[in-house]
Amino acid sequence: MSDPGRLFLVVGPSGVGKDSLLDAARNHFRHDAGTIFPRRVITRPAEAGGEDHCSVDDAMFTKQLKDGAFALHWVAYGLRYGVPVTVVNDLDAGRNVVVNVSRTVIEDARARFRHVTVLSVMADPEILAARLAGRQRSSDGNLTARLARGALMIPAGPDVVTIDNSGALDDAVSAFVSAIAG
């Protein structure tokens, strides 16, 4: 039996560049069958843009949740998010799983999974504000509230690796990929 894989929880405030880092890492590890980037289930229309996700309505999400379809789940900004329970099989088979999650599920993940690394993506507050204002996603809602929430929820612990995405994206990508590669 192989050693369990590592669960990499990618967290950080809106506008910090998590999607850009995940896209770059997905490309970097595209030929590595030992590193998985699962599609999240989200109660957001598929055509809404952003990440490639499995779109469901609220009733379907509730049914899937009741059926045990999610390893982790949360609500943020009026949307429901779920990480498919299939990641448990990937971890048990020794594969690493890299997934964008809410900081609110870190403790649940630490309690449930043996090998967890939190990749905490950060950027200077001025940069976050400019990025959020520039992308103008309707789902971003109140920018002031998002920025305040981001400043309050900084994860801590020996399993946290901080990735600074205030500067050149290539620098942050290098640090992000290195953290996953070990």
Residue-wise pLDDT tens for the chain (182 aa)?
568 899 999 999 888 999 999 999 999 999 999 999 999 999 987 776 667 789 999 999 999 999 999 999 999 888 999 999 999 999 999 999 999 999 999 999 999 999 999 999 999 988 888 888 776 554 545 666 656 655 557 888 999 999 999 999 999 999 999 999 98
Q: Is 61 exposed, middle or buried (0-12, 13-18, 19+ CB in 10 A)?
A: buried
- The model's pTM: 0.89
Instruction: Check residue 142 and give its pLDDT.
Output: 61
pLDDT tens, residue by residue, 8-61: 999 998 889 999 999 999 999 999 999 999 999 999 877 766 677 899 999 999
Instruction: Check residue 128 and give its pLDDT.
Output: 86
Instruction: Check residue 34 and give its pLDDT.
Output: 97
Spatial CA neighbour of 13 closest among 93, 129, 109: 129
CA distance 59 to 179: 37
Domains of the chain: 7-37+91-181 (3.40.50.300)
Instruction: Check residue 32 and give its pLDDT.
Output: 97
Helix (H, G, I), strand (E, B) or coil at 104: helix
Q: Which two tokens stand for residue 167?
A: 């500067």
Instruction: Check residue 126 and give its pLDDT.
Output: 86
Instruction: Check residue 181 and give its pLDDT.
Output: 96
Outline where the chain has alpha helix (H): 18-28, 58-66, 86-92, 106-112, 125-135, 143-152, 169-181
Instruction: Check residue 3 and give its pLDDT.
Output: 84
